[in-house]
Amino acid sequence: MKMTRLFASAFVALLLCSSHAGAAEPEERFLLTPALLAKLKAAAPDIKKLEKDDDEERDDGKNNNLSAEEFARVLDKEPRARAVLAKHGLSTREFALMSYAMVHAGMFVGLEPSMNKKQAAEMLAGFTKEQRANVALLRKTDMRAFGK
């Protein structure tokens, strides 16, 4: 099995198993907009500088598997992160929700070509309307503009 198919299958399984009836999490209801993507694009160089500076610090793994709300609280404790985000008109909560929404939609868009059409359609149908809109937006956005 090709590695991309393996990742696509794992991603599909993860999304199908994680879906649940009931209220969606805030990051599942967060709607990305072209204006927010423009702010993120403008902030990307400053964020990359922060990440580069933070690479020197040890990652103890305690911030893994955070919800978007918990991620926002972690960012709230980082004055440099708050300052960079504020400079670009973003709150820590908005940035956290945007990050999670972009990862979700970006993973789907990135893996979609390796999925069969029926599987992709079924998965997309299980997304919230905001997640479907986020996928549609990222499909037509040149993500290279955000750097690597």
| Domain that residue 32 falls in | 3-15+25-53+66-141
Residue with tokens 């789907």: 108
> For 48-92, what is each residue's pLDDT tens digit?
888 877 665 545 555 567 899 999 999 999 999 999 999 999 999
Record the pTM: 0.77
SS3 11: helix
Tokens encoding 88: 């670009």
The count of structural domains within the chain is 1
Is 113 inside any structural domain? yes
Nearest to 102 by CA among 131, 125, 76: 131
Q: Residue 108 falls within a domain, yes or no? A: yes
Query: pLDDT (tens digit, 9 = 90+) per residue, 2-20?
Result: 434 444 444 554 454 444 4
